Amino acid sequence: MDKRPIGVFDSGLGGLTVVKELKKLLPHEDIIYFGDTGRVPYGTRSKEIITEYACQDINFLLSHDVKMIIAACGTVSAVLPQSIIASLSIPFTGILLPAVQAACATSQNARIGVIGTPATIKSGAYGRAIRSIRSDAVVTGNACPLFVPLVENGYVKRSDKVTSLVASDYLKIFEGSGIDTMILGCTHFPIIRDIISDMLEQDVTLINPGEETARYTAAKLTKEHILNAPQHEGNCRYYVSDAPESFSEYGSLFLGEQIGGHVEKVDIGQLPANITK
């Protein structure tokens, strides 16, 4: 048993779609969430800057003595160098591996689609990870940068014409690709999964990174014997780098419930940009 919290971070609000699934699957766990709302988006930045920001986010969570770290950000998951992950003394996961494992297990025909931020798609990390499990896989990817601001600004209803128009343009590339499975490679995207689904052929299964990451985390904590006590009622503490009020206001869309509890602003730029523990 291990009473320490799980640390979760994202560039902003999207990671709350992972917290939502963690709360369902691991109700006895405490969670410390950091959303880098002052520096979002990460997905349009360079690998170097994303890595620097992610190291600061990880250092913040380490300072809270967490027992596992989850990068609930598709961009960080795709870009963070393996050497940094290997330097951590506690378990770590991004959303990439859980989503890729699920997609490889789901796909019947090994034709898999991936959508994400520009940095995620440019990294090629999903294609490499998929082919390491299924060498026969044909992977088709596309960057969907406008999905993030559309979701953050609340254009998420199935009837929203702007989001549907943007989605039809981004997803045109998958017509005739034969994909039967698509990874939502960004934690904002499950919020508009119905719109995405409407633009794809009917038999495409969408992989929600939040659900898969929560399953992966539950299995990891169980395997490492570091679950919290079953009688403990888990709680969440939230930290952001800007505008705690907006986080509380808009976060509920991602979390699927009100952001209960305290949201505190921290100065993330002060922290070292390399892993210190």
Q: Per rule CB under 6 A, is residue 73 in the interface with ligand DGL?
A: yes
Catalytic option among 55, 144, 186, 236? 186
Residue with tokens 């930045």: 45
Which of 22, 54, 148, 191 is the binder for ligand DGL (CB under 6 A)? 148
Question: Using CB under 6 A, which residues numbered 9 to 28 contact ligand DGL?
Answer: 10-11, 14
* Interface pattern 81-120 for ligand DGL (x via CB under 6 A): ------------------------------------x--x
Say whether 23 sits in a helix, a strand or coil: helix
Instruction: Spell out a b/e string for 80-90, using b for 16 or more CB atoms within 10 Å of the CB, else e.
Output: beeeebeeeeb
Residue 73 catalytic?
yes
Backbone angles phi, psi at 275, to 5 degrees: -75, 125
Q: In terms of DSSP H, where are the helices of the chain?
A: 16-25, 47-62, 74-79, 82-86, 96-106, 118-123, 125-133, 147-152, 161-171, 193-198, 209-223, 244-255
Considering the complex, state which of residue 228 and residue 241 has its C-beta at the smaller distance from ligand DGL. Answer: 241
Stretch that binds ligand DGL, among 35-43, 52-60, 97-105, 244-252 (CB under 6 A): 35-43
Q: Per rule CB under 6 A, is residue 74 in the interface with ligand DGL?
A: yes
Q: Per rule CB under 6 A, is residue 31 in the interface with ligand DGL?
A: no
CB atoms inside a 10 Å sphere around CB 251? 24
* Interface pattern 183-222 for ligand DGL (x via CB under 6 A): ---xxx----------------------------------
Instruction: Spell out a b/e string for 42-57, using b for 16 or more CB atoms within 10 Å of the CB, else e.
Output: bbebeeeebbebbbbb
Kindly state the number of chain residues that form the binding site for ligand DGL, as judged by CB under 6 A.
16
Catalytic residues: 73, 186
Contacting positions for ligand DGL (CB under 6 A): 10-11, 14, 40-43, 73-75, 117, 120, 148, 186-188
